[in-house]
Amino acid sequence: MCGIVGYIGKANAPSALIRGLRRLEYRGYDSAGLAVLDGGRIEVAKAAGKVSSLQDRTRELWDQDFFNRITTGIAHTRWATHGPPTEVNAHPHLDQSGDIALVHNGIIENYRNLRSRLEAKGHHFHSETDTEVLAHLIGDCDKGDLFQAVCDALHQVEGTFGIAVLSSREPGKIIAARRGSPIVIGVGDGESIISSDASAILAHTQRVIYLDDNDIALVTIDGVDIRDLNNVPVTREVAELTMSESAAEKGGFEHFMLKEIHEQSEALSNAIRGRLDLEAGSSVLAGMGTSPRDLAELTRVVLIGCGTSLHAGLVGEYAFEDLADIHAEVQQAAEFRYRNPIIGNCDLVIAISQSGETADTLAAVREAKQKGAFVMSLCNVVGSTIARETGRGVYLHAGPEISVASTKAFTCQVAVLLMMALRLARGRRLSREDGLALAKDISAIPQLVQKVIQQEAHIAELAKDYTKNDHAFFIGRGPMYPVALEGALKLKEISYIHAEGYHAAELKHGPIALLEKGTPVIALACDIPGKDKTIGNVEECRARGARILGIVTEGDQEAADCMDDYIMVPRCHPLVATIPAVVALQLFSYHVARLRGCEIDQPRNLAKSVTVE
């Protein structure tokens, strides 16, 4: 995901900025750029690709004297969302006059309206980005006071931002602001550093100030003056960074997996933002490219994927059948490609892949296209092969996922599948009222997930009692059945405990033979249809000495009392409930694996992207 660095100090800002960008490389990005103040001018260098390419570009453009005299600048690593990762689309972006430069993380949702308004006033744009529109808007608002201009522009913006702004007309200052996208400011000795991530600040100082939403900061060599968007001063405490340099690239977390679990609330906000229609009780997914007529003519939805993505597809299967009243089925991509599947032009085939590069899923896409199906993808990585070959689909916007064990991609896949099913359902039989109820619960997913993450200490404590077993079983019914499969996959891949997920009713058809005193059974017993039967299955396990960890709904003490241990997750629509439930299992698996001293981010024998059959 995108990263911001700003530097104002005594010397060599380009080098400080490049060093800062290197610290943010772990976040994943596909282009980079910087803008510096040289006397009364702004100079810009950008490059598609890596920070090293940007560094080469700065060396081509500027000599050592230039490097030594430049003391102020802003820089960015971009992970493409609006427009491909080209040099033109890379940040910083300039305003119409070329005197103001901006770097931006987040998404300006109303950028199309703003762009048309500015074009009508004679503005010309060079890129496809929402960020360039904001740069122009700030320039348009600038009547001689940059700080006020940024305030005025941000009042007109819908969406999220973390920004840093420079003006050649007002040297000696950088303006930073945030809403929904983090900004932290390092207060050094004769220098100030702005970043989206504290790890880029560590090389300069441990003393930092975190901006809150709707804060705007005037940053100078001497420190920071923070106000709200109405220009009223606010006080923010100076915090002391405690992270080590090596922890820095993980944003202060011990492992990427834990960082990515914690990022889920933000990732889900990005996946959902602007895609729900809370008036019509539907969703707006332009990338699906289906007309109401196409939707009516579809007779089947086939979801294909591998690993965790396959499990997301299984939740999708319930959603499409339940909501859209359409026959839906999940097929393993590896099986689909060779079984000569019966597929026709009334079938919607959805390929689900975080990386967009998995060989079996790609081959299945080609096979489905060959057979004339309506094929679309659900990928995280922009411009990946599966996304390109399907030509239509929906991106997750979950940000880069580095840990091999997938977490935030899974929850975003489920959220997007629910929105896809909702769109299809509203084009068919689902009532506005039912659509609205689901849309509201989908919009609340980031908060629901946060409530589970807040229980991490409790979950970590529970995990202590589950580290010694060789086997574990996960059980669930309905949409909680795929959650059981995903929970078992998470535990086995990172802790090396043999774990299996079963439909709760299936346990008694064989696996129950393996239960001994103390064998863990993790029961997805949320308060959704089928819960009572799952609790019946829990009793069967308890009678054989199993130790039960229940995932139950907040306030459902009756269910909790049937368990040896429990984690409570918030009450919501049964399909939506799969997301907070799986987050509880991700944290549980993580802490079990951590206590067992496992290689969490790179488990043995596993790869993040499987490009072989």
The residues annotated as belonging to the active site are: 2, 608
Q: Nearest CA to 381 among 366, 371, 396?
A: 396
Distance in Å, CB of 49 to ligand G6P, minimum = 22
One symbol per residue from 386 to 405: x for binding ligand G6P (CB under 6 A), - otherwise; what is it? ------------------x-
Q: Binding ligand G6P by CB under 6 A: which of 196, 283, 406, 519?
A: 406
Distance in Å, CB of 354 to ligand G6P, minimum = 4
Are 146 and 167 in contact, with CB atoms under 8 Å apart? yes
Q: How far apart are alpha carbons 611 and 509 in whole angstroms?
A: 36
Query: In this structure, are strands 72-78 and 3-8 parallel, antiparallel, or unpaired?
Result: antiparallel
Distance in Å, CB of 610 to ligand G6P, minimum = 5
Q: Which two tokens stand for residue 26?
A: 């772990």
Q: Return the SS3 of 138.
A: helix
Binding-residue total with ligand G6P (CB under 6 A): 16
| Structure letter (DSSP) for residue 546 | P
Site for ligand G6P in 587-606 (CB under 6 A): 606
Distance in Å, CB of 416 to ligand G6P, minimum = 13
Choose between 296 and 607: whose C-beta lies nearer to ligand G6P: 607
Q: How far apart are alpha carbons 306 and 299 in whole angstroms?
A: 24
One symbol per residue from 331 to 360: x for binding ligand G6P (CB under 6 A), - otherwise; what is it? ----------------------xxx--x--
State whether the Cα torsion 140-141-145-147 is positive or negative. Answer: negative
Choose between 194 and 494: whose C-beta lies nearer to ligand G6P: 494
| Structure letter (DSSP) for residue 600 | -
Site for ligand G6P in 272-331 (CB under 6 A): 306-309
Q: Residue 135: which H helix or E strand, with range? A: helix 130-141
Distance in Å, CB of 309 to ligand G6P, minimum = 4
Cα dihedral 117, 122, 126, 131 in deg (nearest 10): -40
Choose between 443 and 609: whose C-beta lies nearer to ligand G6P: 609
Q: Nearest CA to 200 among 18, 429, 457?
A: 18
Judged by CB under 6 A, does residue 485 bind ligand G6P?
Answer: no
Q: Which two tokens stand for residue 218?
A: 């005037």
Q: Return the SS3 of 144.
A: coil
Site for ligand G6P in 556-575 (CB under 6 A): none
Q: Which two tokens stand for residue 72?
A: 């102020």
Distance in Å, CB of 80 to ligand G6P, minimum = 18
Q: Looking at beta carbons, which residue is closest to ligand G6P?
A: 307
What percent of the chain is helix, strand and coil (3-state, nearest 5)?
40, 25, 35
Q: How far apart are alpha carbons 202 and 245 in whole angstroms?
A: 7
Choose between 539 and 599: whose C-beta lies nearer to ligand G6P: 599
Choose between 334 and 448: whose C-beta lies nearer to ligand G6P: 334
Q: Binding ligand G6P by CB under 6 A: which of 366, 369, 451, 608?
A: 608
Q: Binding ligand G6P by CB under 6 A: which of 55, 181, 265, 361?
A: 361
* Contact residues for ligand G6P, defined by CB under 6 A: 306-309, 353-355, 358, 361, 404, 406, 606-610
